[in-house]
Amino acid sequence: MPRYSVNNQILIMMQKPNATMCQSFTGWKEMGRFVKIGEKGIRVMAPAPYKMEREQDKIGADGKPVLDKDGEPVKEVVEIKVNAFKPVSTFDISQTDGEPVPRLGVDELTGSVEGYATLMEAIKQASPVPISFENIETGAKGSYIRLHCL
């Protein structure tokens, strides 16, 4: 999946607040997924660098402009890269159909571990922050809250 800049993440959030996984039309196609008919793209900014030629004073090894026999600066043509951006469309997974998206890891570990209680006690003793277990109403599988000491 592509990584979006903070600015593009803001653009995505403003246009489709419930977006979770975005990719270009071609990117989804390569993954065996297809954008649903009638879906409107989420516009983001993509790099579109280009090169151009520019005439400038020639600089010598001493860091000073090279002068011709009349004392005028010698000109040279150099190629420079210009960073530019263009608007492109991206689509959220909810706007697509097709093959399941590969996932990393597992949703939740289940089963039993021999010596679990001993292992957890050792982790609690070694941890620089308190560890506790409680039900989280949002369904999250964990949280970390940093408490400031005065």
Cβ–Cβ < 8 Å for 12, 90:
yes
Measured CA to CA, the distance from residue 65 to residue 74 in angstroms comes to 7
15-42 pLDDT, tens digit per residue, is 999 999 999 999 999 999 999 999 999 9
Q: Where do the H-state alpha helices sit in 16-144?
A: 25-30, 116-126
Q: Per-residue pLDDT tens for 105-141?
A: 766 767 788 888 898 899 999 998 888 888 888 878 7
Q: How far apart are CA 24 and CA 96, in angstroms?
A: 11
Return the pLDDT at 22. Answer: 95
Q: What is the pLDDT of residues 42-61, one digit of tens each?
A: 999 999 999 999 998 999 88
pLDDT tops 90 at residue 143: no
